Amino acid sequence: MFDVNAIRADFPILSRQVNGQPLTYLDSGASAQKPQVVIDAITKAYSEEYANVHRGLHYLSNLATDKYENVRQVVAKFLNAGHEDEIVFTSGTTEGINLVAYSWAMENLQPGDEIVLSVLEHHANIVPWNFLRERQGVVLKWVDCAADGSLDPQAVIDAMGPKTKLVAVTQMSNVTGTRVDVKTICHAAREKGIATLIDGSQGAVHGPVDVQDIGCDFYPITGHKLYGPSGSGAIYIRAERQAEMRPFMGGGDMIDTVTKDAVTYAKPPLKFEAGTPGIVQTIGMGVALDYLMQIGMENVAAYEAKLAAYASEKLQNLNWLNVQGTAPGKGAIFSFTMEGAHPHDISTVLDKKGVAVRAGSHCAMPLMQHLGVTATCRASFAMYNTTEEVDRLVEALELCREFFG
């Protein structure tokens, strides 16, 4: 049984006050708060179990290596990957996508080859492909979303031509909460021999993920949005694609032998992990994913669906509020604007009431341009938020309306 009050009690920061008001944290889309189990795991790792991994033969190094390497199985289980060797640790989604750009795309794409992107993408799933456009003459093909923010999978499939080598789309928009039917897209791409990268930064937080069922080649996640430490992350890379990749960064840990004249590389996944990694961050991410699996991602999804429906209705009742994106089945992420008030000013007023939201372009400028806005305010909900907090957001927005209206 999903008990939101029990979950809230696991997150110490949620009981603090901000500006003399109870904290209403609606910025989990940027970064989620951490449960006590993660905080304790970080403290324990540093105070009792810390050493560098993979390198030593002493007790603590072996212990830290076991704890760190064990997280690969945890991530594989969380994503339902076929094998833990298909999991590469990163510092987050941004590094994961850059890894694919440098290690796979730069090796396998020729001038004139195409990458299909949607207008919903975060800059992390745009800028690395722009590098290929600048450096290798790769062509970026964009697919627009509909007025309600939804992305028609058929439009993405129709954009796949004979020169398309990669489709890179998000599973959930960080601006509108739109969910994308990535399975239909990936299965169509697989039939055409086109590789697929699904940005799981938001999607993995809000419901169960099965990368084998989706049928994607690359699926990056970011630990700090999954209630784990910042600087942690992972990417699922299907074994067949690993065989097509060269290493991204060079250094310690990713080699087999080094002589003055030649270098041979370790087998994946270590081949793609150079240097001392985020040891404690990764261990903390493993604890966060175990915590989520104990709660059950289906339960998280069911609870958040109710919260999203409640928030949608309440926000729609504010007829002076312009909510961006109303696609059916969207997640609990709401971007909005208000006539006569800049999003930064709205967020400042909300903050005075203890309501933390984000304002700006949310690293999604092409989407902002498509929506015809320069910035929005974004309230992004997580499994620890409540309907009372939706009410507090609405009250604070009504105050804004009085203030600026």
Binding residues for ligand PLP, rule: CB under 6 A, are: 92-94, 122, 124-125, 170, 174, 199, 201-202, 222, 363
Taking the alpha carbons of 26, 29, 33, 35 in that order, is the dihedral positive or negative? Answer: positive
Q: Where are the alpha helices (DSSP H) in 166-323?
A: 182-191, 203-206, 211-214, 239-242, 279-295, 297-316
Q: Minimal CA–CA distance to 216: which of 158, 267, 169?
A: 169
Long-range contacts at 273-277 (CB < 8 A, ≥ 24 apart): 273/88, 273/89, 274/247, 274/248, 274/249, 274/250, 275/249, 275/251, 276/52, 276/53, 276/252, 277/53, 277/68, 277/89, 277/253
Shortest Å distance, C-beta 105 to ligand PLP = 17
User: Is 145 an active-site residue?
Assistant: no
Letter for the amino acid at 61? S
**Rounded to an integer, what distance in angstroms lies between the CA atom of residue 223 and that of residue 216?**
20
**Rounded to an integer, what distance in angstroms lies between the CA atom of residue 82 and that of residue 75?**
11
Whichever of 81 and 180 has its CB closer to ligand PLP, that residue is 180
Which of 145, 186, 216, 363 is the catalytic position?
363
Whichever of 165 and 378 has its CB closer to ligand PLP, that residue is 378
- 170 close to 202: Cβ distance less than 8 angstroms: yes
Whichever of 54 and 122 has its CB closer to ligand PLP, that residue is 122
Tell me whether strands 24-25 and 164-170 are parallel, antiparallel or unpaired: unpaired
Shortest Å distance, C-beta 170 to ligand PLP = 5
- Please list the active-site residues: 363
